[in-house]
């Protein structure tokens, strides 16, 4: 991993290294992004903020109780890096809360936070339901338009196949969401069957499209210590 040597005069954060996964915690990386299971409440809050801006919610359609509504807090979180709660953080954010360890829930939903390898900022989030094999994800505003969507979905498929042992995963998108469609195809997803009409959590009904990614034979699972 190569980090820029300085950003606003602060040392780059220490992040988990790809390798052995421990206690429901996983790490993986693509060319430009590092993904890992949130370690602190700052990581968890950032993964929520990445998905909560109006552009992301145009496609995700979360319910009101799922969205981080405060614009200032949301924007501040997506400009931070994992170590920033210890060094410099907006006065809007309670340091004591953000530095607390985050314990991954023992359920069927796996969530990873992604950071940029060039400057360390929080940049992406991905989610996998191990019960249904459905994936989802989003990029922070500063990470959009850079061709990182394909890396996001490629990471989600890799995580599902080699970390969680799922042979096949599915992703859906609104028919008019051209960026997601292109990113999924670039990540190796192919057209799949699924309901053409789909209702988002906020109640909006959309024209949906579905794609699937299948593991290559011989893919190995990570070792969880």
pLDDT of 183 above 70:
yes
> What pLDDT is stored for residue 4 in this prediction?
30
Supply the Cα-derived Rg of the chain in whole angstroms: 17
Nearest residue to 50 via CA among 77, 82, 18, 27: 77
> What pLDDT is stored for residue 6 in this prediction?
36
Nearest residue to 121 via CA among 216, 217, 4, 213: 4
Mean pLDDT of 150-155: 96
Would you say the C-alpha torsion 13, 14, 19, 22 has a positive or negative sign?
A: negative
Mean pLDDT of 27-34: 92
> What pLDDT is stored for residue 8 in this prediction?
40
* Cβ-based neighbours of 218, under 8 Å, separated by 6 or more: none
pTM of the model: 0.84
> What pLDDT is stored for residue 104 in this prediction?
83
CA distances from 123 to 34, 46, 82, 113, 174 (A): 9, 9, 11, 8, 22
Mean pLDDT of 116-131: 94
pLDDT confidence band for 103 (50 / 70 / 90): confident
Q: Which of 86-90, 100-104, 109-113 has the lowest mean pLDDT?
A: 86-90
CA atoms within 13 A on the CB side of 143: 29
H-type alpha helices, 111-221: 149-158, 178-186
153 CA to centre of own chain: 9
Report whether 28 contacts 110 (CB < 8 A).
Answer: no
Nearest residue to 40 via CA among 92, 91, 94: 94
pLDDT tens for residues 61-85? 988 888 888 888 899 889 888 877 6
Q: Give the whole-number percent of the chain exceeding pLDDT 70.
A: 80
Calpha distance 123→115 (Å, rounded): 5
> What pLDDT is stored for residue 24 in this prediction?
73
pLDDT of 221 above 70:
no
> What pLDDT is stored for residue 98 in this prediction?
73
pLDDT tens for residues 207-220? 999 999 999 875 55
Top-confidence residue, 195 or 96: 195
Mean pLDDT of 53-66: 90
């Amino acid at each position: 991993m190569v980090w820029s040597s300085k950003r606003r005069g602060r040392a780059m954060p220490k992040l988990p290294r790809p390798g052995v996964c421990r206690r429901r915690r996983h790490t993986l990386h693509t060319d430009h992004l590092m993904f890992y299971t949130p370690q602190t409440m700052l990581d968890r809050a950032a993964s929520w903020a990445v998905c909560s801006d109006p552009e992301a919610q145009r496609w995700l359609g979360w319910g009101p109780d799922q969205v981080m509504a405060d614009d200032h807090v949301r924007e501040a979180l997506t400009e931070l890096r994992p170590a920033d709660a210890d060094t410099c953080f907006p006065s809007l954010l309670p340091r004591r809360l953000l530095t607390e360890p985050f314990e991954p829930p023992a359920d069927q939903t796996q969530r990873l936070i992604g950071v940029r390898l060039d400057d360390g900022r929080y940049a992406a989030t991905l989610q996998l339901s191990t019960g249904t094999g459905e994936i989802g994800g989003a990029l922070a505003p500063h990470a959009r338009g850079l061709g990182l969507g394909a890396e996001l979905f490629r990471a989600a498929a890799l995580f599902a196949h080699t970390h969680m042992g799922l042979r096949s995963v599915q992703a859906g998108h609104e028919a008019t969401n051209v960026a997601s469609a292109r990113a999924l195809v670039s990540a190796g997803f192919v057209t799949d069957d699924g309901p053409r009409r789909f209702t988002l959590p906020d109640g909006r009904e959309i024209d949906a499209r579905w794609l699937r990614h299948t593991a290559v034979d011989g893919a190995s699972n990570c070792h969880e210590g």
